């Protein structure tokens, strides 16, 4: 591929991997940001703050001839869990993180869409929500892809 057209396909493949994971049965997986994160949910390509990026892409030359680029993209997952007790919500959040990690590790090429995908970073917060607690996390899924450069005439 020469351009950035593969990135919508990468998001689609990640949504599919998470949706089909047995560990995440009953979890709401959505493509893109959600207005209000819900109980046991994962938003793909979303960050906790709406102005923060849900996808970041970096390119660098991968060979001395400058004909291939290695692209590294970070796709953010916004995971949330609620509970009557803080410890309960926190435990559930880490179950969601483990489920997402297992889904990505099971299919590290996301069905042939990327060279490699892996969960790399996690930022967690916790707070009150209604009469209970909500615990959330931003998890970064880093993906590696290769692209052939267009040759100029």
Q: Write the DSSP assignment of 48-102 as a string of letters.
A: SSTTS-SEEEEEEE-STTS-EEEEEEEEEEEEEEEESSHHHHHHHHHHHHHHHHH
Q: What pLDDT, in 10s, does the model give residues 81-136?
A: 999 999 999 999 999 999 999 999 999 999 999 999 999 999 999 999 888 999 99
- pLDDT value, residue 71: 84
- pTM of this prediction? 0.87
pLDDT at 140 over 70: yes
Could you tell me if 138 and 55 are in contact, meaning their C-beta atoms sit under 8 angstroms apart?
no
16: pLDDT confidence band, cut at 50, 70 and 90? very high
Pick the residue with more confidence: 5 or 113? 113
pLDDT at 152 over 60: no
Percent of the chain with pLDDT over 70: 88
151: pLDDT confidence band, cut at 50, 70 and 90? very low
149: pLDDT confidence band, cut at 50, 70 and 90? low
Nearest Cα residue to 138 out of 82, 86, 87, 80 = 80
Residues forming beta bridges with residue 141, ordered by sequence position = 75, 119
């Amino acid at each position: 591929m020469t351009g950035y057209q593969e990135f919508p396909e990468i998001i689609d493949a990640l949504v599919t991997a998470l949706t089909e994971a047995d560990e995440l049965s009953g979890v709401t997986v959505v493509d893109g940001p959600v207005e209000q994160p819900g109980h046991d949910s994962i938003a793909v390509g979303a960050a906790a703050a709406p102005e923060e990026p849900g996808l970041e892409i970096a390119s660098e030359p991968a060979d001395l001839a400058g004909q291939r680029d290695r692209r590294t993209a970070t796709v953010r997952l916004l995971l949330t869990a609620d509970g009557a007790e803080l410890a309960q919500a926190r435990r559930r959040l880490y179950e969601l993180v483990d489920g997402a990690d297992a889904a990505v590790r099971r299919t590290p090429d996301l069905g042939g869409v990327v060279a490699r995908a892996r969960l790399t970073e996690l930022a967690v917060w916790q707070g009150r929500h209604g009469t209970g607690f909500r615990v959330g996390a931003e998890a970064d899924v880093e993906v590696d892809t290769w692209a052939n450069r267009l040759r100029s005439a």
